[in-house]
């Protein structure tokens, strides 16, 4: 059957079961119906074969069985399944819840934000309307008061005008949409910080609740309520455990009280206890976060007071970061308030799933079954087994872990939520806590605890046997899949009819042979073939090149070969030339010079003239 066709068939079966239950006045969620279908199919007593297509008769049988189980008003097993489905649909871890909470707030503010960022105000009335929308956006985002309260609006408007006067709306409108959204968030945080500071100084804070004080009162009250519920459920679980231990010694009496479904009631209480512990852990984390944030809030307020100190003007670079930090802290307080409210409501909604314990087990029946029975708590059982420890020398092929030799011992993922797997398997469903001090068995990357040394030794002899016994029990009681966290085991478990055919249990497939193939050279090769790393080879090549420099290349051309080569001839065009035949020339007539001698020297000498001709003869030129 194709996947889409099978999915369509399953949806039709779920819809038909829901309609059948609706005829009896019961509205059943589809998730619960789907879980019940899986539980009925897994139960080997119902005889469904998951490896073949369901016939019409099989579908009718499946619908009938599911409707009967869903309408059983006095069945602790059904209450446990309902509790598991409700918890899975309504609980999420702290980080995911806060992320989803912030996403929802942003989506709700998106409409108001778009009205502001897409506004094209021009007139004075339009600008005033836009400014009022910004004030409303700030109040909605901060959660400090209602936008319909006139006192709150006036206070928020005054705080906004101190950092963003109405005259700056023109600059705001000229920004891009992303810059507008960023500035709106920043203005909201600054205004929130200003209002919180004014409230701390006693000068404002209209409509602002004292969240730190509210949380300091609500967290202890919620914790005490959960502790009380936890203690009550644990006491009942201890009583049921003691009764079952007594009945194990008398199998005949066990059959007489089988209709009371004490074992299913124990599963119901243990599941309730596990869920309460998960919620309590989140509330403790919430208390630690609130305590840390209160200290940070006080420190930020003191720093802001020291910065301001009754000054008329303070640089924005000093106070704006503190205002933004105050706003972030207050948002965290609001987150913790919402988270605490959700966890408290979840605790209240889980209580009705225990409602039938008083109807099934009244005080007279319980007191009669508890005669001459010692009721032991989980702590008492663990103390009884203290001092005993597994000797690792008795097991050469198995690994044992002890608290004193293992780091982060408390964080190990213990199988079956810390209950003893051996006791559960051999007693057909008795939930007894294991003692890690005895030793934790590491088998196929999983960790198992035991309530006694003998149980640990017996389980270690053949772990697969007891693991499969627990799986078979979970097929009959589907609530054990989540109670003992057996989801991974059921993903690899074969259907019951197939196991019955081969007349033995098949081990879950945890290993398989596989192979992978990758390219030898994913990237293009960059191999240099003439590369040489050997120094002597490089030296040999160098000598060879040096020897070639002294060689000459000779060539010979014969009469038979000279016509075989290509010849080319280039003819240059005639040049224009010119000559000159006439030449100009001239001669110079000698010009003698006369000088007077005796102008210098002895004064008694006489003066006389000297004729000098410096012109050279013609034949000397």
Residue 499 confidence (pLDDT): 39
Do 239 and 314 belong together in one domain? yes
CA distances from 225 to 219, 280, 291, 314 (A): 10, 10, 20, 48
Do 189 and 221 belong together in one domain? no
Q: Is 52 a domain residue?
A: yes
Q: What is the pLDDT of residues 62-71, one digit of tens each?
A: 888 888 877 7
Phi-psi region of 429 (alpha: psi -120 to 50; beta: other; left: phi over 0): left
Q: Is 523 a domain residue?
A: no
- Counted residue by residue, the chain has a size of 621
Average pLDDT of the segment spanning 554-579: 69
Cα–Cα distance, 56 to 50 (Å, whole number): 15
Q: Is 603 a domain residue?
A: no
Q: What is the pLDDT of residues 336-349, one digit of tens each?
A: 999 999 999 999 99
Do 287 and 335 belong together in one domain? yes
Q: Is 313 a domain residue?
A: yes
- pLDDT tier, 533 (very low <50, low <70, confident <90, very high otherwise): confident
Do 250 and 195 belong together in one domain? no
Residue 559 confidence (pLDDT): 66
User: Is the model's pLDDT at 308 over the cut of 70?
Assistant: yes
Do 192 and 225 belong together in one domain? no
Name the domain boundary from 201, 228, 245: 201
Q: Name the residue with tokens 């109807």.
A: 359
User: Is the model's pLDDT at 492 over the cut of 60?
Assistant: no
Quickly count: other Cβ atoms within 10 Å of residue 166's Cβ: 15
Q: What is the pLDDT of residues 509-522, one digit of tens each?
A: 445 566 777 766 66
Residue 258 confidence (pLDDT): 64
pLDDT higher at 496 or 62: 62
State the angle between helix axes of 124-142 and 150-163 in degrees (0 to 180), rounded to the nearest 10.
110
The number of folded domains in the chain is 4
DSSP code of 400? E
Q: What angle do CA 306, 309, 313 make, to 5 degrees?
A: 115
Q: Is 160 a domain residue?
A: yes
Helix/strand/coil for 501 = helix
Do 413 and 481 belong together in one domain? yes
Do 457 and 356 belong together in one domain? no
Residue 206 confidence (pLDDT): 82
For residue 6, what is the enclosing H or E element? helix 3-23
Name the domain boundary from 201, 231, 250: 201
Burial of 185 (0-12, 13-18, 19+ CB in 10 A): middle
Cα–Cα distance, 424 to 415 (Å, whole number): 12
- pLDDT tier, 8 (very low <50, low <70, confident <90, very high otherwise): confident
Tokens representing residue 325 in the block: 């930090």
pLDDT higher at 451 or 10: 451
CB 64 within 8 A of CB 12: no
Phi-psi region of 41 (alpha: psi -120 to 50; beta: other; left: phi over 0): alpha
What is the span of the domain harbouring residue 344?
211-369
Residue 490 confidence (pLDDT): 66
Q: Is 283 a domain residue?
A: yes
Do 361 and 396 belong together in one domain? no
Dihedral sign computed on CA atoms, order 42, 46, 49, 54: negative
- The 3-class secondary structure across 542-586, one letter per residue, is HHHHHHHCCCCCCCCCCCCCHHHCCCCCCCCCCCCCCCCCCCCCC
Average pLDDT of the segment spanning 5-9: 68
User: Is the model's pLDDT at 224 over the cut of 90?
Assistant: yes
User: Is the model's pLDDT at 355 over the cut of 80?
Assistant: no
CB 179 within 8 A of CB 187: no
Do 355 and 232 belong together in one domain? yes
Q: What is the pLDDT of residues 228-281, one digit of tens each?
A: 999 999 988 888 888 888 888 776 666 666 666 788 888 889 999 999 999 999
Q: Is 402 a domain residue?
A: yes
Q: Name the residue with tokens 């600054």.
A: 190
Do 329 and 236 belong together in one domain? yes
Q: Which of 454, 586, 19 minimizes the C-alpha distance to 11? A: 19
- pLDDT tier, 85 (very low <50, low <70, confident <90, very high otherwise): confident
Do 231 and 362 belong together in one domain? yes
Cα–Cα distance, 463 to 166 (Å, whole number): 76
Residue 305 confidence (pLDDT): 87
Cα–Cα distance, 16 to 10 (Å, whole number): 10
User: Is the model's pLDDT at 413 over the cut of 60?
Assistant: yes
Name the domain boundary from 160, 183, 201: 201
CA distances from 418 to 292, 433, 522 (A): 32, 6, 49
* Summary mean pLDDT of the chain: 82
Average pLDDT of the segment spanning 524-543: 83
Helix/strand/coil for 28 = coil
- Out of 35-44, 49-58, 133-142, 404-413, which region has the weakest mean confidence (pLDDT)? 49-58
Phi, psi of 400 (to 5 degrees): -120, 140
Do 62 and 131 belong together in one domain? no
Cα–Cα distance, 360 to 350 (Å, whole number): 18
Cα–Cα distance, 403 to 362 (Å, whole number): 42
């Amino acid at each position: 059957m194709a996947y889409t066709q099978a999915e369509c068939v399953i949806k039709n079966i779920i819809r038909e079961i829901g309609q059948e239950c609706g005829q009896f006045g019961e509205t059943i969620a589809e998730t619960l119906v789907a879980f019940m279908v899986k539980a009925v199919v897994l139960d080997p007593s119902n005889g469904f074969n998951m490896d073949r297509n369901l016939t019409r008769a099989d579908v009718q049988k499946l619908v009938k069985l599911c409707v009967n189980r869903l309408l059983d008003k006095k069945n602790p097993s059904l209450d446990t399944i309902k509790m598991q489905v409700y918890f899975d649909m309504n609980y999420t871890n702290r980080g995911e819840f806060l992320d989803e909470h912030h996403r929802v707030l942003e989506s709700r503010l998106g409409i108001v934000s778009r009205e502001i960022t897409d506004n094209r105000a021009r007139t004075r009335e339009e600008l005033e309307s836009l400014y009022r929308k910004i004030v409303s956006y700030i109040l909605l985002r901060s959660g400090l008061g209602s936008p319909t309260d006139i006192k709150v609006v006036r206070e928020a408007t005054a705080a906004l005008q101190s950092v963003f006067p109405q005259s700056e709306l023109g600059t705001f409108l000229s920004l891009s949409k992303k810059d507008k959204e960023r500035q709106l968030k920043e203005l909201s945080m600054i205004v929130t910080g200003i209002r919180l500071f004014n409230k701390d100084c006693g000068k404002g804070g209209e409509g602002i609740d004292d969240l730190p004080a509210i949380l300091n009162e609500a967290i202890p009250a919620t914790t005490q309520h959960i502790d009380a519920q936890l203690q009550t459920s644990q006491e009942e679980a201890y009583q049921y455990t003691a009764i079952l231990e007594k009945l194990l010694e008398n199998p005949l009496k066990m059959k007489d009280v089988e209709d009371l479904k004490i074992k299913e009631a124990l599963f119901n209480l243990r599941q309730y206890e596990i869920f309460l512990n998960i919620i309590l852990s989140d509330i403790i984390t919430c208390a630690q976060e609130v305590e840390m944030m209160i200290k940070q809030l006080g420190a930020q307020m003191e720093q802001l007071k020291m910065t301001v100190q009754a000054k008329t003007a303070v640089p924005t670079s000093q106070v704006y970061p503190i205002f933004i930090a105050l706003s972030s802290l207050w948002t965290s307080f609001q987150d913790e308030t919402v988270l605490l409210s959700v966890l408290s409501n979840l605790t209240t909604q889980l209580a009705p799933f225990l409602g039938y314990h008083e109807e099934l087990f009244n005080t007279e029946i319980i007191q009669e079954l508890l005669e001459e029975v010692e009721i032991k708590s989980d702590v008492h059982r663990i103390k009884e087994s203290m001092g005993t420890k597994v000797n690792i020398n008795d097991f050469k092929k198995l690994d044992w872990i002890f608290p004193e030799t293992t780091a982060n011992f408390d964080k190990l993922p213990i199988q079956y939520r810390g209950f003893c797997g051996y006791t559960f398997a051999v007693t057909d469903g008795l939930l007894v806590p294991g003692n890690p001090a005895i030793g934790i068995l590491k088998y196929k990357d999983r960790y198992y605890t035991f309530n006694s040394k003998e149980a640990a030794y017996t389980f270690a002899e053949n772990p697969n046997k007891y693991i499969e016994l627990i799986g078979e029990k979970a097929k009959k009681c589907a609530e054990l899949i989540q109670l003992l966290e057996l989801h991974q085991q059921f993903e690899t478990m074969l259907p019951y009819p197939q196991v019955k055919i081969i007349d033995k249990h098949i081990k879950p497939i945890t290993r398989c042979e596989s192979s992978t193939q990758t390219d030898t050279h994913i990237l293009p090769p960059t191999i240099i073939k003439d590369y040489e790393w050997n120094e002597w080879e490089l030296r040999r090549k160098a000598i060879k090149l040096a020897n070639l420099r002294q060689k000459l290349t000779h060539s010979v051309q014969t009469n038979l070969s000279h016509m075989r080569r290509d010849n080319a001839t280039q003819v240059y065009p005639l040049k224009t030339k010119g000559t000159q035949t006439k030449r100009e020339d001239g001669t110079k007539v000698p010009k003698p010079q006369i000088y007077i001698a005796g102008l210098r020297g002895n004064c008694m000498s006489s003066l006389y003239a000297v004729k000098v001709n410096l012109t050279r003869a013609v034949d000397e030129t």
